[in-house]
Structure 1
Amino acid sequence: MHILIVEDSSLVASGIKAGLELHGFTCDIAASQSLAEQHLASCHFDACVLDLGLPDGDGLQLLRKWRAAGQDLPVLILTARGTMQDKVAGFQTGTDDYLTKPFDLQELVMRLHALLRRAGGRATDLVALGDCQVNASTGDVLCGGERVELSRREWALLSALLQSKGRVLSLAQLHDSLYGFDLEVGSNTVNVHVHHLRKKLGSDIIDTVRGVGFRLGARYCGPSA
Structure 2
Amino acid sequence: MTENQAPEQISVLLADDQALLRAGFAMVIDSQPDMAVAGQAGNGIEALGLIRELAAAGGAPDVVLMDIRMPEMDGLAATAAITEDPALVGARVIVLTTFDTDEYALSALRSGAAGFLLKDVQPEVLLDSIRTVVTGGAVVAPSTTRRLLDTTLLGGGVLRAPNAEQQQKLGYLTHREREILAELATGDSNTEIAARLFLSEATVKTHVGNVLHKLGCRDRVQAVVFAYEAGVVGE
- Hey, which of these two has a bigger chunk of helix by percent? 2
TM-score by length of 2: 0.47
- Larger proportion of strand: 1
